Chains A and B, each alone.
Chain A
Amino acid sequence: MIPEPDGFLGTLLAIEGISDARAVINGPNGCRGHPAYLSDNLFSRDNSLSERNYKDRFFFGQSRIPCTFLDSDDYIYGSGIKIREILPLVAKKGDTLLAIINSPGASLIGDDLTGFIKEADLEDTCMGIGQAFYSKPFHQGFDETIRSVLEWLHLNHLPKSKAGVNLLGLSIMHKYWEGSLDELTRLCELMGLFVISAPGAGSSVPMLRESVTASYNICVFPEYSQKTADFYRNQFGIETIRSPSGAPVGFDATEEWIKTIARVTGSDPGRALEEIALKRKRAYQKISRSYLEVAALKGSSFSVKADASFALPLSRWLYHYLGMLPVSIRVPETGSIEEHVPAFLPEQHLEEILKINPEELDHDICFSDRLFGKHLVLSGRCKACIEISERMSPETEFIRKTYLGGEGALYLLENIFDCIEYL
């Protein structure tokens, strides 16, 4: 059993993360509710004042991710009737791209999605995804789906734009993805680069078509972009720049991220680094005044449950910057942890903490999704939780926040300092 967001959800939200695309589930109604809720909340494109899709068949009162609501007869006789009915109805919504995705059960029926799409005369608009990375981690489903979309679009070879880059590996499931996109775009612009697209994080199909004009891809979260990066390199010769420090989490990793990009692209990192230096100074002014608070943090223990490319730079930064000690780091089993900040754990003799279950350890602060964090706090295992990843109900966000870049480092500090009263 995988209690975490899985590859099926990754597939659905990869499609839903394309601004003019829509995912359609061919599966039972039970597969639909939570992904539809998440999509609508993470990347809202409708509002409750319009009629939206509430009354439409297959939408079940929600605005995103219609579903064929397969029942037992459909599993025996096939889902053709409902697919034939849903495709033209959803096509009328006017999305540039539709993707009909088999649920785990539907994939066993063996219906020919491509055939139904052809029959509906939607070959230019709709792609079929028969197998959706069930039982795989979320990021794998996301990455493979973005790659599949790019392949399906049959992108043209276009002239390169010297300063154009794509941001890879950011999804709408990432906490504060919109603020993160803003922050990273701004840092790129300070280096004289401009972001053409961020596949799966709000970019439209035309932006994806234009993405091939980029000179480089810039990796945000490597786990979410390995296959996508391979696609761009193999098909269009676009190399992906990866920072050795992982995602730009905390000041140190952000500076490394900027320097790596500047080194490869030949751009000037000066203004972006100056920006981070200003953020560092702001943090210094606040922290140096709060000597009691920072003393409470020093030597405090924390656990992290997140993707490796987030968890490791975060842990390294908190260790060196605030003097906090990681006691447990849990990452999805991807076998790629050594790729992310490989020097950090062995140099601090902390390898063992990768094996420690935070549910069996008393500690101070937990960095995780809200559900897991609450579980640790309520079971008395930790004193405070900082939510760094999405899983359940996204908060209603008015100010765009981020955990990435210089702004993200400050916001992490703000959240950490908010925990002090519980320590």
Chain B
Amino acid sequence: IRNRRKYLNRRHRMLYSTDLSDEEFIYSGEKRLEERLEDAVRDGHTHIFIVQACPPAIIGDNIEGVAEKVRRKYPHVSVYPVPVQGNLTGDFSQGIIDTYRSISGLLTNAGKKTDIPSVNILAGKMFAGNDEKNFKTIQALLSQLNITVNCCCISKTSFTSLMRYGDAWLNIPTEWDASSRSLYTILSAHSGIPFLIHPLPVGFSQTARWITGIGSFFGCEERAREIISREREKYLERISVIRPHLAGKKILVATQKRSVDWILELAEDLEMDVIKVGLMYSPSNDYYYTCHSGEYPVSDDYSVAERSSDIANLKPDLVLYSYPPLRPCDQSPSHIIPYSPDYGFQSGALWAERLSRVVRLPRVEGWKTDGGILV
């Protein structure tokens, strides 16, 4: 970051740059780093992370050495180098994992269990538009079991909350994808807090299983059963309103390799016919897992061409896709599978309300035919 002097109100500065020049690249930027750390301490910051860019990593600056020097000089200040070496260690997900690793020493089991049962929620989807809403849903579900959220690690959280990490009774991962599994490996080595091996739940069936698992861990199974029973009534009422619009409709699911069990279970409740699940290419290291193996035809390495062919031949009433969207020649109502679905008992039914509208819409949206070539 250049022009750092333009940050006039130093108290509100959250990002400092060493502003390295050619000279530092030749003779080391450690002195500049130390100066910036001193600036940050002077501005009142007590928890400072050092994120190294590529050039200082290449010239071999001793970041940990500088951090240690500042720690000794200011014992009340914590300094955490994040060993990412610029972009050398990997992409966005790897950066998150590296950050977890750099703070994992803090997240120990040194604390004592809270009096009230509590959980840590791990690896929140900080860029998802429904992150806040989903957190409230989970918080509300847990509060019905008299369980509190101890720490969200790391998503819109405070350092104080992170320092409480070890006080929780149970770790709950947001997802159970590659990043979450890496996190599990890192955190398990530093803390004895058990993990619930179940992603945060989407739709009725998943939420029922999830809350049963939570209830079982905390010894409040009966309360969990009551909640499920109450929510089931609401769910069935919603489904009964939507079912007449969707029952008997044929669905083709074309998804990147992620679990779509919540959709399959929803389809069953709506008496819809899942004619195929096509697993398409995904650039991330996702994998497909299901509790309904053998119940539906699954096609691996599913291509866009195969999807078009299936739309033409199988004539689904609705195509649910993750990426890419249908082409203009694909004459079928379609809707995207949300990358980050809403959580909770009713989320699937609420999504199905949208589907009941989609099947009434034109098969191909008008804008798709304005591209020139109809492919």
Measured CB to CB, the residues of A under 8 A from B are 251-252, 277, 280-281, 283-284, 287-288, 291-292, 294-295, 298-301, 317, 319-323, 325, 348, 421
Chain B residues, CB < 8 A from A321? 365-367
What mask results when residues 333 to 375 of chain B are scored 1 for a CB within 8 Å of chain A, else 0?
0011001000000000000001101101110011110111000
B336 & A284 in contact (Cβ 8 Å cutoff):
no
Contact A299 B355 (CB under 8 A): yes
CB of B129 closer than 8 Å to a CB of A: yes
Q: Does B297 contact A (CB under 8 A)?
A: no
Q: What A residues does B354 contact at CB under 8 A?
A: 299-300
CB distance from B12 to the nearest CB of A (A): 25
- Chain A residue nearest in CB terms to B356: A299
Q: A281-B370, A284-B367, A421-B129 are in contact. Are A319 and B361 (CB under 8 A)?
A: yes
Interface flag for B323 (CB, 8 Å): yes
Residue total for B at the interface (Cβ-Cβ under 8 A): 21
What are 14 contact pairs spanning A and B, CB under 8 A?
Answer: A251-B370, A292-B336, A298-B336, A298-B365, A299-B357, A299-B361, A319-B361, A320-B365, A321-B365, A322-B365, A323-B358, A323-B362, A325-B357, A325-B361
Q: How many A-B residue pairs have CB under 8 A?
A: 65
Q: Kindly list chain A residues whose C-beta atoms are within 8 Å of the C-beta of B355.
A: 299
Q: Is the CB of B325 within 8 A of A295?
A: yes
B366 to chain A, nearest CB (A): 4
**A173 → chain B closest CB, angstroms:** 30
A300: B residues at CB distance < 8 A: 354
- The answer to whether B370 touches A291 (Cβ under 8 A) is no
Contact status of A295 and B365, CB under 8 A, knowing A280-B370, A281-B370, A281-B371: no
A421 to B129, CA, bound (A): 8
User: How many angstroms between the C-alpha atoms of A100 and B324 in the bound complex?
Assistant: 63
What residues on B are CB-neighbors of A283 within 8 Å? 367, 370
Complex Cα distance, B364 from A294, in Å, reads 13
User: What are the 7 A-B residue pairs with the smallest beta carbon separation, nearest first?
Assistant: A295-B336, A321-B366, A280-B370, A284-B370, A299-B358, A323-B361, A323-B365
CB-CB under 8 A from B362, the residues of chain A are 319-320, 323
Taking chain A's interface residues, is the majority helix, strand, or loop, or is none over half, making it mixed? Answer: helix
Q: How far is the CA of A299 from the CA of B324 in the complex (A)?
A: 18
Query: Which residue on chain B has the smallest CB distance to residue A286?
Result: B367
CA distance A369 to B362 in the complex (A): 28
- Cβ A291 vs Cβ B365 within 8 A: no
Distance in angstroms from A298 CB to nearest chain B CB is: 6
CB distance from B327 to the nearest CB of A (A): 10
A-B contacts besides A251-B370, A292-B339, A325-B357, 8 pairs, CB < 8 Å: A251-B366, A280-B367, A288-B367, A291-B325, A291-B336, A294-B367, A295-B335, A321-B365
Closest to A322 in B: B365
Residue of B with least CB distance to A413: B367
Pick from B336, B358, B360, B366: contact of A320, CB under 8 Å: B366
Q: Please, which residues of chain B bring their CB within 8 A of the CB of A319?
A: 361-362
Cβ of B41 to closest chain A Cβ, rounded Å? 38
Chain A residue nearest to B333 in the complex (CB) = A323
Chain A residues, Cβ within 8 Å of B370: 251, 277, 280-281, 283-284
- Pick from A251, A298, A348, A421: contact of B358, CB under 8 Å: A298
Quote the shortest CB–CB distance from A284 to chain B (angstroms): 4
Contact B371 A288 (CB under 8 A): yes
Complex CA gap A291/B326 in Å reads: 10
Shortest CB–CB separation between residue A223 and chain B, in angstroms?
Answer: 26
Q: Which residue of A lies closest to B366 (CB)?
A: A321
Tell me the smallest distance from the CB of B62 to a CB of chain A, in Å. 43
Roughly how many angstroms separate A251 CA and B372 CA in the complex, as a whole number?
Answer: 15
Report whether A252 and B366 are in contact in the complex, using a CB–CB cutoff of 8 Å: yes
Distance between B351 CB and nearest chain A CB, rounded to angstroms: 10
- CB <8 Å contact, B367 and A301: no
Across the interface, do A284 and B324 meet the contact criterion of CB distance under 8 Å? no
Given contacts A283-B370, A291-B323, A320-B366, contact A301 B129 (CB under 8 A): no
With A320-B362, A322-B367 known to touch, is A301 a contact of B357 (CB < 8 Å)?
yes
CB distance from B71 to the nearest CB of A (A): 42
Residues of A within 8 A of B360 (CB): 325, 348
Q: How many whole Å from A283's CB to the nearest CB in chain B?
A: 6
User: How far, in whole Å, are A299 and B353 apart by their CA atoms in the complex?
Assistant: 9
**B122-135 interface bits toward A, Cβ cutoff 8 Å, 1 = contact, 0 = none:** 00000001000000
Chain A residues closer than 8 Å to B325, beta-carbon distance: 291, 294-295
Chain B residues 88-130 with CB under 8 Å of chain A are 129
A287 near B357 (CB under 8 angstroms)?
no
The interface residues of chain B lying within 8 Å CB-to-CB of A251 are: 366, 370
| Contact between chains at B371 and A284 (CB < 8 Å) | yes
Q: In the complex, what residue of chain A is closest to B363 when comparing beta carbons?
A: A323
Q: Which residues of B have CB within 8 Å of A322?
A: 365-367
On chain A, the residues within 8 Å of B361 by CB distance are: 298-299, 319, 323, 325
In the complex, what residues of A have CB within 8 A of residue B324's CB?
291
The chain B residue with its CB closest to the CB of A285 is B371
Q: Give the complex CA separation of A317 and B362 in angstroms.
A: 11
The answer for the CA separation of A298 and B367 in the assembled complex, in Å, is 12
* Closest A residue to B323 using CB positions: A291
Please indicate the chain A residues that have their CB under 8 angstroms from the CB of B372 in the complex: 281
Q: Which residues of B contact A281 (CB under 8 A)?
A: 370-372
* Set of chain A residues within 8 Å of B336, measured between Cβ atoms: 291-292, 295, 298
Q: How far is the CA of A323 from the CA of B339 in the complex (A)?
A: 20
What residues on B are CB-neighbors of A288 within 8 Å? 367-368, 371
CA distance A259 to B362 in the complex (A): 24
* CA–CA, A325 and B362, complex, Å: 10
Pick from B324, B354, B361 the residue with the most CB of A within 10 Å. Answer: B361
CA–CA, A321 and B360, complex, Å: 14
In whole Å, how far is A176's beta carbon from the nearest beta carbon of chain B? Answer: 23
Chain A contacts for B368, CB-based, 8 A: 284, 288
Residues on the A chain within 8 Å of B371, using CB: 281, 284, 288
- Tell me which residues across on chain B come within 8 A of A287, comparing CB atoms: 367
CA distance A280 to B336 in the complex (A): 23
B-side contacts of A325, CB under 8 Å: 357, 360-361
CB of A383 to closest CB in B, whole Å: 12
Distance of A294 Cα from B326 Cα, bound (Å)? 12
Give bound CA distance, A408 to B339, whole Å.
32
Shortest Cβ distance from B361 into A: residue: A323
What residues of B have a CB within 8 angstroms of the CB of A295 in the complex?
Answer: 325, 335-336
Nearest-CB residue, chain A, relative to B372: A281
Hey, which chain B residues are within 8 Å of A292, CB to CB?
336, 339
In the assembled complex, the CB of A419 is this many whole angstroms from the nearest CB of chain B, namely 13
A323: chain B residues within 8 A (beta carbon)? 358, 361-362, 365
Q: Which residues B301-353 have CB closer than 8 A to chain A?
A: 323-325, 335-336, 339
Q: Which residues of B contact A317 (CB under 8 A)?
A: 366
A252 to B362, CA, bound (A): 15
Cα distance A29–B339 in the bound complex, in angstroms = 59
Q: Which residues of chain A come closer than 8 Å to B335, judged between CB atoms? A: 295, 298-299
B128-182, CB < 8 A from A = 129
Cα separation A277 to B361 with both chains bound (whole Å): 24
Chain A residues with Cβ below 8 Å from B366 are 251-252, 317, 320-322
CA distance A89 to B194 in the complex (A): 88
